[in-house]
Amino acid sequence: MTQSLFGMLVFPGFFFLCLIGACAEYFDRIFHARMQNRKGPPWFQPVADFIKLSAKEDIVPEEADRFMFKAMPVVAVASAVTAVLYIPLWTTQAMYAFEGDLIIVLYLLTIPTMAFFLAGWYSTSLYAAVGAVRTLTQLFAYEVPLYISVLAPAVLANTWSLSGMTKYYAAHPGYWLFNLLGFAVSLVILLGKLEKVPFDIPEAETEIVSGVFTEYGGRFLAFFRMAIDIEAVVVASLVATVFLPFGLGLPACIGFFLYMVKVALVIAAVSFLRTIFARLRIEQMVDFCWKYLAPAAIVQMLINLILKGVLPQ
């Protein structure tokens, strides 16, 4: 019981994710700034922003649903933290593993986006409602290719467990190279999942102020920003586990170092992509996902189905 509480609250749970999430935000911002020939923020900026927001007054709009307005930031953080407990980070075994945990992780990572939508909708603000509708529209666009691209390596491994997948690819070195197309698709989809350029339509500040978070401030906004940072680390960990399953099963210090390197590489790739592209309109984003990303993910699935019948298991 004590070990479980430690895992959920400290390592690799809440406090660990808060720390790594702040580091990931700083790394993303400094990398993005340097690519634009800017200096970028100081290393303590994410923590300073959280402290500043936490010290501000919490204001709930008069017409808003008070319960939903206050609950959604907590729901977003809790679901992202829970998802990491089923992902093997630097070993071949997750803290809580069972057959089918891959589906649970994908489900849990959908909840923060739904929390963003509900937060904007129940704010009863016109700008927040527009951002909420865009958030939900974008969710419907990228979820299908994301699921297909992530499930394709699971088909090859013949398991719906993330821990089972890592054990399979650890026993078959080099097989993960067959999933590179799915890896490329997932990197592009992460831009939509994390609402980064060119898929930052729900938070188009030049159009709708701050999207779903227009009416949020103080601790509520601080928790939402924390949820976004934690979600970035968790989805990067998921992508690293599914598509870069090498270096697992090594001594803890080496495995942890490789895990951090892989997460940093995924975040750097996302930061690079958001630097070189301009924002798309919402209908362009939907068309791009269904015309290009979904077919590419289906091709990856077909490749793995063929390989499953050819390669020795």
Instruction: Check residue 2 and give its pLDDT.
Output: 65
Residue 207 CA to chain centroid, in angstroms?
25
Q: Which two tokens stand for residue 215?
A: 């009416």
Which distant-in-sequence residues (6+ apart) come within 8 Å of 151 by Cβ? 102, 301
Spatial distance between the Cα atoms of 139 and 190, rounded to a whole number of angstroms:
11
pLDDT digits 0-9 by tens, 1-33? 666 777 677 777 788 999 999 999 999 999 999
Instruction: Check residue 126 and give its pLDDT.
Output: 86
Phi, psi of 255 (to 5 degrees): -60, -40
List of the chain residues with pLDDT < 70: 1-3, 7, 208, 313
Q: Residue 179 carries which DSSP code?
A: G
Which distant-in-sequence residues (6+ apart) come within 8 Å of 89 by Cβ? 12, 237, 241, 256, 259
pLDDT digits 0-9 by tens, 124-142? 888 889 889 999 999 999 9
The neighbour count for residue 150, using CB atoms within 10 Å, is 27
Q: Which two tokens stand for residue 191?
A: 């831009």
**This prediction's pTM:** 0.93
Q: Which amino acid type is present at position 109? A: L
Q: Which of 297, 257, 308, 48 is nearest to 148 (CA)?
A: 297
Spatial distance between the Cα atoms of 152 and 194, rounded to a whole number of angstroms:
22
Instruction: Check residue 211 and give its pLDDT.
Output: 82
Instruction: Check residue 168 and give its pLDDT.
Output: 93
Q: Which long-range contacts (CB under 8 A, 24 or more apart) does 169-172 make?
A: 169/245, 169/246, 170/92, 170/245, 170/248, 170/249, 172/311
